[in-house]
């Protein structure tokens, strides 16, 4: 046993830090356990050209505005890492790293958090591990036959790694469009972009601020028993704010093909028998919540989601889930959106413990 505390926060990325900020304001005793060796969460592992969808001031955690990045309206991932590191230090958040949580178990009136560095006993737990650590790959026929290089969004870094190669990018969301745009601008890369349906670009004036408003309005409508507004999905799939995406689209470089039906030994094949050779396939096919550490609690739900009331787990009131998507708070997987559900979680934990 390492120690006892009121709250253990699992994950030291943006959601975990937002939770820590509000727990500190509530004067609760807590620790943040982060599996990463350095601050910055998943932002440390993104591709080189990634940029935010919103200006810095609209991409901030509670209590501290993100400063603008000189020369850039939309900050890059490195700037976000610097901001999160500064945020952690500014509020003296008790982050322990690298500590990997193995499982959370019930232990009488407390929760037992077992890690690779010992055991914590807590009165409440906030799980904020996100999704980056659990990339999703669809069960596509031939995936085990294909002899080329397969990688996921999480593995992509820069277009120069694919110089002189035929590359297939799979996925019609933001990551697929951004990586396709990145590759399309690099001379010597033969790009094929495939999507399940024709790409839906949002209007050029829509950035992360509008997406947050749409997500919040949808959650409010559902909570009040009104019709589903559709939220972000009603606007489109691809934000055109990052300059490379807009430039590639306007130059006619982002032309998507229909999704292929199977992989062959040396490429892909469509339903009509048409084939294309490929040296690499990049799967920009999304993520699933990284929740394996909560398996002992038996909180199963549809699509890998744990049923919640707001952020609180329906089957375990001492557990809160933060930052996994709209099902744990409107836009809670974003920098600007995670503050409100983090505040609500801290308030409910305070009420539970007092």
Give the tens place of pLDDT for each residue, 103-152: 999 999 999 999 999 999 999 999 999 999 999 999 999 999 999 999 99
Dump pLDDT digits (tens) for 226-268: 655 555 555 567 887 767 888 899 999 999 999 999 999 999 9
Dump pLDDT digits (tens) for 162-205: 999 999 999 999 999 999 999 998 999 999 999 999 998 887 77
Tokens at 18, concatenated: 């937002």
Residue 217 pLDDT more than 70? no
pLDDT number for residue 294 = 98
Alpha helices in the chain (DSSP H): 14-25, 77-90, 174-184, 208-223, 243-250, 339-353
Residue 224 pLDDT more than 80? no
pLDDT number for residue 216 = 59
CA distances from 115 to 121, 130, 299, 315 (A): 11, 18, 20, 23
Mean pLDDT of the chain: 91
CA 303 vs. chain centroid, Å, equals 16
pLDDT number for residue 228 = 59
Name residue 298's beta-bridge partners: none
Q: Of residues 296 and 325, which shows the higher confidence score? A: 296
pLDDT number for residue 285 = 97
Model confidence band, residue 320 (pLDDT cutoffs 50, 70, 90): very high
- Could you give the CA distance from residue 260 to residue 53 in angstroms, rounded to a whole number? 30
The pTM (predicted TM-score) of the whole model is 0.91
Residue 213 pLDDT more than 80? no
pLDDT number for residue 246 = 86
């Amino acid at each position: 046993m390492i120690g006892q505390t009121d709250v253990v926060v699992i994950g030291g990325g943006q959601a975990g830090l937002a939770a820590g900020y509000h727990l500190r304001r509530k004067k609760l005793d807590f620790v943040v356990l982060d599996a990463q060796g350095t601050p910055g969460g998943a932002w440390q592992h993104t591709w080189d050209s990634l940029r935010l969808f919103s200006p810095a001031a609209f991409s901030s955690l509670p209590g501290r505005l993100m400063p603008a990045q000189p020369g850039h309206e939309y900050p890059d991932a490195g700037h976000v890492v610097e901001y999160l590191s500064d945020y952690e230090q500014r509020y003296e958040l008790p982050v322990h790293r690298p500590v990997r949580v193995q499982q959370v178990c019930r232990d009488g009136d407390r929760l037992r958090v077992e890690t690779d560095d010992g055991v914590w006993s807590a009165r409440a737990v906030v799980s904020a591990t996100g999704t980056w650590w659990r990339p999703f790959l669809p069960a596509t026929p031939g995936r085990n036959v294909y002899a080329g290089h397969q990688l996921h969004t999480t593995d992509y870094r820069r277009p120069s790694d694919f110089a002189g190669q035929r590359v297939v990018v799979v996925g019609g969301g933001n990551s697929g469009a951004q990586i396709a745009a990145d590759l399309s601008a690099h001379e010597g890369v033969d790009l094929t972009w495939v999507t399940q349906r024709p790409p839906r670009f949002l209007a050029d004036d829509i950035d992360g601020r509008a997406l947050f408003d749409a997500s919040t309005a949808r959650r409010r409508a559902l909570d009040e028993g009104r019709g589903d507004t559709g939220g972000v999905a009603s606007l489109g799939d691809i934000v055109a704010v990052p300059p490379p995406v807009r430039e590639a689209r306007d130059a006619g470089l982002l032309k998507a093909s229909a999704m292929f039906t199977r992989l062959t030994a040396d490429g892909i094949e469509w339903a009509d028998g048409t084939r294309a050779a490929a040296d690499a396939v990049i799967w920009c096919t999304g993520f699933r919540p990284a929740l394996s550490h909560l398996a002992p609690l038996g909180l199963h739900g549809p699509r890998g989601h744990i049923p919640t009331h707001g952020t609180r787990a329906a089957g375990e009131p001492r557990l809160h889930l933060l930052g996994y998507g709209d099902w744990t708070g409107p836009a809670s997987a974003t920098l600007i959106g995670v503050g409100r559900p983090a505040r609500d979680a801290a308030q409910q934990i305070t009420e539970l413990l007092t």
